[in-house]
Structure 1
Amino acid sequence: MSFMADEEGAVSDEEEIAVGPADIEAAWDVLKEHHRRTPIILSRSLSEMTGSNVYLKFENKQRSGSYKFRGAFVKIASLSDAEREKGVIAASTGNNALAVARAASMLGVKSVVVVPTGMALPRAEVARYYGAEVRYFGGSYGEANLEAERISKDEGYNLIHPYDDEKVIAGQGTIGIELLEDLPEVDTVLVPIGGGALISGIAIAIKAKNPDAHIIGVQASGAAPQEVPSPDGQHVTIRRVTSIADDITIRMPGKITMPIIRKMVDTVVTVDEDEIARAFVFLLERHKTVAEGAGAVPTAAILFDEVNHLGKNVVCLISGGNLDINNIGKIIRQGLTKAGRILQIRVQMEDRPGRLYNLLESISEGGANILEVSHRRDVPDLPYGLVQLNLTFETRDEDHAHQLLSLIVTAPGTDLVEAE
C-alpha cells in the first residue's frame, strides 16, 4: 500500500503537522555533542544488484544500540529542572527502554522502565546497567504502557512516549541532517516504519533541503498498521502483532506522526518474515554487522525488489542492532533455509543394508555438506519394510538445492516425502 505526499512534500491547509525543520535544527543543536555520528558506507553488493549507489547508514552503532537514543535524549534534555527532579518513565519491549535509560543517565535524571514480563532478559539487564529501575508488568507493550501511565500520574514521573511526541520526532529527524551533510545528492531513503517518529523526522529534515527526494517507509507484514484504515479513513488498532522486526510491531500509528506520514512520505512498502531473515543474513555476511529485525527491513525491500525507481543515490537505514541473542541462531537458520542454502528433507527408503550409504553417497557427490541425520523405524503409519530418514544439509543456493533433490529422487529404493 502506498501513501503519496503532496507536491514537494507540502502540507495542506486542512491538516497541519506538529514538527517543522526548525524543530529538527534545534534538536540537532541539543544532540550533536552527545551522540555518536554513525557511519554511512556504500554497499557494493546492493549497488551492483540495483544499478544505483546504495548506502547503508549504521544506526545500530548508535548509543544504546539504536536510533531511539536521539529522540530520548532530546526529549529528556527539553525538561525543566523541576521536571528532571521528578524523573522519567517509559514503557518498552526493548529499544525505548535502553534509549531512555542511557539518555537519562547521561543527563543525570532518574529513570524507570516498565517492560512486559516476557521481555528478553539481556535487554532488561542492559537497561539496569545504564542505571534504570526496571519494573515488570503485563504480557504486552500495551499493558506495560498503561502501567507506566498510571505510575506517571501517581508518582509524578515524566512519561517518555516512544514515538508520538514532537521532541522525540525532532530528535529522530537529526538522522536526516547527517544524511544531507554526508550525501547531499541523496535521491531515496528507505526507513523502517512502525509508530512513525523515525520516518517523520527524517522526511521533514530531508524534504526541507531536497523536496524531490523520495522517502520510503518499510514495514513488516506481521505488523503493518499503515495498511489497516477504517472505513472513515482513520487507522484502527491491530489485535495481534508479531514479527522478527519487533521494534516496529505497533498496533496503531501515532496521532502526531500519521499526518506527517500522509504528507511527507512518498510510499510505504511491506516485507515478510522470510525476506527480513534473508536480509539479516545478507547484512551479517556481506557487511559484518548485526541488524535487529526492524533494522533489516529496508535492506529486505531492496533485496526483494519492493521499490520502483530508486534513483541514483539510495540510503538504507539500519535503525538498530538490539537483537535478542537467543534468537540469532533461529533467524540465521530461517534466512539460510529460505535462500535455499539449508535443505531439510524427509525420505522413506527400503530397510536394507547399503541403502543409507547409497543415499549419503549421492548427496556427497552432489557437493552438499550434511548437517543432521535422523534414522527412524518407529514412525506411525510407516509401511512395513521401510525406514524414515530426516536429513538436513547445507547447499550453495536454490539451484544447487534443486540439483540435489534430483539426485535424491533417483537414488535406489528411496522415496522423497517432503522437502523444505
Structure 2
Amino acid sequence: MNPTFAEIEKANSLRGNEIKKTPLIHSPTFSELTKSEVYLKAEFRQKTGSFKIRGAYYKIKSLSDDEKKHGVVAASAGNHAQGVALASALEEIPCTIVMPKNASPAKVAATRGYGANVILEGINYDESSAKAKEIANETGATMIHAFDDPQIIAAQGVIGLEILDDLPDVEEVYLPIGGGGLAAGTLIAIKEKNPNIKVIGVQSRSFPSMYESIKQGAITASGGARTIADGISVKVPGQLTFSIINKLIDEIVLVDDTEITKAMFLLMERMKFVVEPAGAVSLAYLISKKPAPGKKVVAVLAGGNVDMYLLGQIVDKGLAAMGRLLKLSILLPDRPGAFKDIVDEITLANANIVEVVHDRLSSNVNAGSAAVTMNLETQGKEQADALIEALRQKNVQFTLLT
C-alpha cells in the first residue's frame, strides 16, 4: 500500500502534543556562505533528537488493541531505536529493540532509558534485523521498520507540510537520504501542494545506494566504505521508498566526510546547533556546491544524536580545515634556547600554543636532537600561512601534520 497525502494529513492530526512542530530558522550566516536564502528545518530539536520519533509514534499509535498487547520489536543502532522506545513508552506497550553489539554505549543507554528491552545481537544492522524478525515471529510482536512502511513514511511527510506552512514560497528543499523514509514522505507532501518546488536528496558518497538505484532504474545495493554519517549508511534502499523517490525526486547528490565535518563545525560555531553527521548532509551540500544562488532554500537538519568523542574530533578537524588549528612536528638541536627561538616566532605571529609534546627517545630522533609536536591555534588561514613561511625563512626543520 502506498502512503497518500491524506494519510500524511491524518498523521499530522494525530500527533497530539507529543510530536513537536520544529522551527524553521533563517540563517544569515549560511545565506551569505551559499549565496542563497537559507532556512534550517531543526528536526534535531525533536523529542529523542531526531525526526524518527514522528514515524514511530504514528505507526505505534495506529496499532490495534490486540497488536499493542503483543508489543513491538525493531532493529536499529540509533535514532529509530530511541523513537520506537519512546513511542512504546507513551502508549504503554512492551518494546524490544535489537541493536548491534558495537552500537554506541550512549545510544544503548538512551534506548534503555526510554524503557525498552535492549538485546545486543550481531555486528551490523542486517544481523540485528534478522534477530528482530525472529523475535517477532516467536512472540507475535509487530515489527516496526525504520523506513519501508506506509505509515512511517506518511508521518515523516508531515515535515513537508510544516515547511510549506512556514515558508510557502520555498523554491528548493534539501534533505538527507538513507533508506528513504524521510525523503519519500516529504516528496509526497510537497509535490501534492506545489509540484514546482524542487526536492533534492543528499547521500553520503560512501553509501550512495538510492543514488545508484535511481541511476540504474532498479534497486541496487551500494556502499560500505567507512563514513561518519552512520545514520544514512544504508546499503539497500526500501522497495516502497525507492518506488516513491524514483517517481518524484528532482535530483540526488553526494557529499563526503570532509564536507560533512565542515558543515557540523560551522553549525556549532555560528548557530550553536549540535547536529549529527547524517543530519548535516543537506547543509554540507549547500555549503560546498552553492547550487541555488539567489533562491529560497530549506535544508532539513534531521537529527542531533552525535557521539561525544566524535564531536571532539569534529571541532579539531573543523578548526584545522579552516586554518585555525595547526599541528607541526619540529626537529630541533637539543640545546638550551632552541625551543625558545620557535616560541618567539609563534609569539610574533600572535598564535596560541594549545599543546606541546617533547620527544628525545623515539628511534627516528637522532642523538643530539629533539622532536617537538605542537598544536597551535591561529586566527585563520592567512595567519597560519604567515607563520609557516616565517619558520621556513628561519630554516626550521618541520613537517605540517594538518
TM (norm. structure 1) is 0.91
In the alignment, the residues of structure 2 paired with residue 390 and residue 285 of structure 1 have an alpha-carbon distance, to the nearest angstrom, of: 27
What are the within-5 Å matches in structure 2 for residues 21-420 of structure 1?
21-229=5-213, 233-238=217-222, 240-305=224-289, 307-309=290-292, 312-412=295-395, 414-420=396-402
2:312 is matched by which residue type in structure 1? G
In the alignment, the residues of structure 1 paired with residue 107 and residue 216 of structure 2 have an alpha-carbon distance, to the nearest angstrom, of: 39
| Mean CA deviation greater in 249-258 or 229-238 | 229-238
In the alignment, the residues of structure 1 paired with residue 237 and residue 170 of structure 2 have an alpha-carbon distance, to the nearest angstrom, of: 27
In the alignment, the residues of structure 1 paired with residue 369 and residue 400 of structure 2 have an alpha-carbon distance, to the nearest angstrom, of: 16
| Mean CA deviation greater in 383-392 or 293-302 | 383-392
- The question of whether the paired residues in 2 share the 8 Å contact of 1:19 and 1:170 is answered with yes
The 3-state SS of whatever aligns with 2:397 is strand
- How far the C-alpha of 1:308 sits from its partner, in A, is 2.1
The 3-state SS of whatever aligns with 1:49 is helix
CA deviation vs aligned residue, 1:193-223 (integer Å, no higher than 9, x gap)? 1100001111110111111111111112232
In the alignment, the residues of structure 1 paired with residue 223 and residue 25 of structure 2 have an alpha-carbon distance, to the nearest angstrom, of: 38
2:373 is matched by which residue type in structure 1? N
CA gap 1:310/1:173 in 2 versus in 1, 3 angstroms: farther
| Mean CA deviation greater in 318-327 or 188-197 | 318-327
The 3-state SS of whatever aligns with 2:363 is coil
The percent of aligned pairs where both chains have the same amino acid is: 38
- How far the C-alpha of 1:74 sits from its partner, in A, is 1.2
- How far the C-alpha of 1:296 sits from its partner, in A, is 1.2
- The question of whether the paired residues in 1 share the 8 Å contact of 2:203 and 2:211 is answered with no
Equivalent pairs, count: 402
The 3-state SS of whatever aligns with 1:31 is coil
- The question of whether the paired residues in 1 share the 8 Å contact of 2:99 and 2:128 is answered with yes
- The question of whether the paired residues in 2 share the 8 Å contact of 1:187 and 1:311 is answered with no
Unpaired stretches in structure 1, ≥5 consecutive residues: 1-16
- How far the C-alpha of 1:122 sits from its partner, in A, is 1.8
In the alignment, the residues of structure 1 paired with residue 305 and residue 401 of structure 2 have an alpha-carbon distance, to the nearest angstrom, of: 33
- How far the C-alpha of 1:245 sits from its partner, in A, is 1.6
| Mean CA deviation greater in 391-400 or 226-235 | 226-235
- The question of whether the paired residues in 1 share the 8 Å contact of 2:211 and 2:253 is answered with no
2:362 is matched by which residue type in structure 1? V
In the alignment, the residues of structure 2 paired with residue 229 and residue 90 of structure 1 have an alpha-carbon distance, to the nearest angstrom, of: 25
Unpaired stretches in structure 2, ≥5 consecutive residues: none
| Mean CA deviation greater in 184-193 or 324-333 | 324-333
- The question of whether the paired residues in 1 share the 8 Å contact of 2:176 and 2:232 is answered with yes
TM (norm. structure 2) is 0.95
- The question of whether the paired residues in 1 share the 8 Å contact of 2:214 and 2:246 is answered with no
In the alignment, the residues of structure 2 paired with residue 343 and residue 251 of structure 1 have an alpha-carbon distance, to the nearest angstrom, of: 36
- The question of whether the paired residues in 2 share the 8 Å contact of 1:362 and 1:411 is answered with no
- The question of whether the paired residues in 1 share the 8 Å contact of 2:52 and 2:83 is answered with yes
1:244 is matched by which residue type in structure 2? I
The 3-state SS of whatever aligns with 2:184 is helix
1:392 is matched by which residue type in structure 2? N
The 3-state SS of whatever aligns with 2:93 is coil
The 3-state SS of whatever aligns with 1:126 is helix
